[in-house]
Amino acid sequence: MLKQYLLTPGPTPVPERVLLAMAQPIIHHRMPAFIKIFNEAAEGLKWIFQTTQPVLMLAGSGTLGMEAAVVNTMKKGDKALCVVGGKFGERWRNICKAFGIETISIDVEWGHAVDPQKVKAALDGDDKITAVFSQANESSTGVRHPVEEIAKLTAARTNVINVVDAVSALGAFDLPMDKAGFDVVVTGSQKALMLPPGQAYVALSDKAWARTEKRDLPCFYADLKRERKAQAGGETAYTPAVTLTIGLVEALRMLKEDGLENIFSRHDKLARATRAAAEALGCRLYAPSAPSPTVTSVWGPDGVDTDKIVKHLRNQYGVSITGGQDAAKGKILRIAHLGYFGPFDILTSVTALEMTLTDLGVRITRGAGTAAAEAILASA
């Protein structure tokens, strides 16, 4: 039997406490027992989003939250500015196009963060732009985008909102919604919130909520105004993901026990250790100037298809990481460190990578990556 280790950027490992909570007998979603659970989850989400706004729970993946952000804040004739530096930046653009929204793209070289001055120039040059869509963390490339700087640019424009995909970011590094001035923040259950896939969470600022009064795009299930009204009473407009909501309560309790500062510092240390280990093994960082705190992307060894490395890790050692997509397919490796991850998860992934590279004939110094990671993980 080969023991399996999940080290992907989503889904991520689910803590035993959360699994046990979700193993309880199912309860009805319109009964007082569930309403109590739902309300605790709703308050906990405000805490992790760092907002006073309601954080709406939707039964669906993070992409449902992204679509809800578009159809509830945009209207026919609007123009969207999309930061496109990876697969999920492309997703913003594709969702907007699916609903007939005219889009302008700031195409960012993969592995790089967007320059806020390019966002400013686009906004200054086109007063028809009504929203900027971007990623806090582009997990397909391992890049953290400067969404705080983008929020400053839109704050001074009464007709422009900023919409942040924080699916692979929120709960791993500091994204204070109210303080930073984010207008829409979207995340999902299966990343730093330590749950299985199946729930999306969306929060809107007052500025964004005002936009929902004028929206005219087709919308039914993702109607956030209807959800806001229902969820204010401890229910959802439609059948919720009951078991995931029960798990969410337990996950948020665990996160509160750690505290935000400890959560953010843990992710930072795990990220630094992973980057140091990869470089010690001769793998160059794919995003050296804006590395992600949640997933480390590195170039593979010269002449080696990284998909073969991913496959060997999984089949030979039971370690699941991810490779590149599209233009980066076969060229990069992505090692996650978000959510329910600790030091020995990093050491496991690094040791398995060392063994795999050796198996595939890549010349490395055995233990170099592990030693580099240990030096950081053991530090105060």
Tell me, yes or no, whether 251 and 285 share the same domain.
no
Say what the pLDDT of residue 327 is: 87
Mean pLDDT calculated for residue range 108-121? 98
Strands 199-204 and 184-188, by their bridges, are antiparallel
Indicate whether 380 pLDDT > 80: no
**Are 172 and 194 a contacting pair, CB within 8 Å?**
no
DSSP annotation of 173: B
Helix axes 368-377, 260-280, angle to 10 degrees: 160
Residues 225 and 338 occupy one common structural domain: no
- Cα gap 28→242, rounded to integer Å: 8
Say how far apart CA 151 and CA 263 lie, in whole Å: 24
The reply to whether 9 falls in a domain is no
pLDDT at 1: 87
Average pLDDT (180-192) is 98
Quick one: 252 and 265 in the same domain? no
Residue 295 has pLDDT above 90, yes or no: yes
pLDDT in tens, 1-21: 899 999 999 999 999 999 999
pLDDT of amino acid 310: 98
**Structure confidence at residue 161 (pLDDT):** 98
Closest CA to 298 of 323, 263, 265: 323
Query: 81 and 183 in one domain?
Result: yes
> What is the rounded average pLDDT for all residues in the chain?
97
The rounded radius of gyration (Å) of the Cα atoms in the chain is 21
Listed residues 234, 257, 280: the one ending a domain: 257
Res 347: pLDDT: 98
Among 257, 274, 303, the domain-final residue is 257
Q: Which domain holds residue 360?
A: 260-377
Interval 175-197 mean pLDDT = 98
CATH of the domain at 102: 3.40.640.10
Mean of pLDDT values over 166-187 = 98
Mean pLDDT within 212-221: 95
Residue 224 predicted with pLDDT over 80:
yes
Show Cβ contacts of residue 65 under 8 Å, excluding neighbours closer than 6 positions: 58, 167, 186, 187, 188, 200, 201, 202
Q: How confident is the model at residue 272 (pLDDT cuts 50, 70, 90)?
A: very high
Strands 322-323 and 332-336: antiparallel
pLDDT value of position 59: 98
Domains in the chain: how many in total? 2
Q: Tens digits of per-residue pLDDT, 346-373?
A: 999 999 999 999 999 999 999 999 999 9
> Does residue 362 sit in the same domain as residue 328?
yes
Q: Is the pTM of this model over 0.95?
A: yes
Across 216-231, b (16+ Cβ under 10 Å) vs e yields ebebeebbbeebbebb
Query: What CATH number is associated with residue 338?
Result: 3.90.1150.10
CB 184 within 8 A of CB 242: no
One domain, residues 111 and 236: yes
> Is there a contact between 191 and 180 (Cβ–Cβ < 8 Å)?
no
Please indicate, yes or no, whether residues 186 and 64 belong to a single structural domain of this protein.
yes
User: What are the Cα distances from residue 311, in Å, to 68, 174, 286, 317, 322?
Assistant: 35, 34, 20, 10, 9
- Cα–Cα distance, 180 to 172 (Å, whole number): 16
Q: Which residues pair with 202 in a beta bridge?
A: 56, 186
Q: Reduce the DSSP state of residue 151 to 3 states and report it.
A: helix
Domain co-membership, 251 together with 269: no
Rounded CA-CA distance 280/372 in Å is: 7
Dihedral sign from CA coordinates of 168, 173, 177, 182: negative
CB 94 within 8 A of CB 66: no
Half-sphere exposure for 232 (CA within 13 Å, toward CB): 6
Residue 109 DSSP symbol: -
pLDDT at 258 over 80: yes
Give the DSSP H or E segment for 96. helix 87-98
Last residue of a domain, one of 204, 230, 257: 257
Please give the Cα distance from 95 to 104 (Å, whole number).
Answer: 13
Question: Which residue is associated with the tokens 């005002």?
Answer: 210
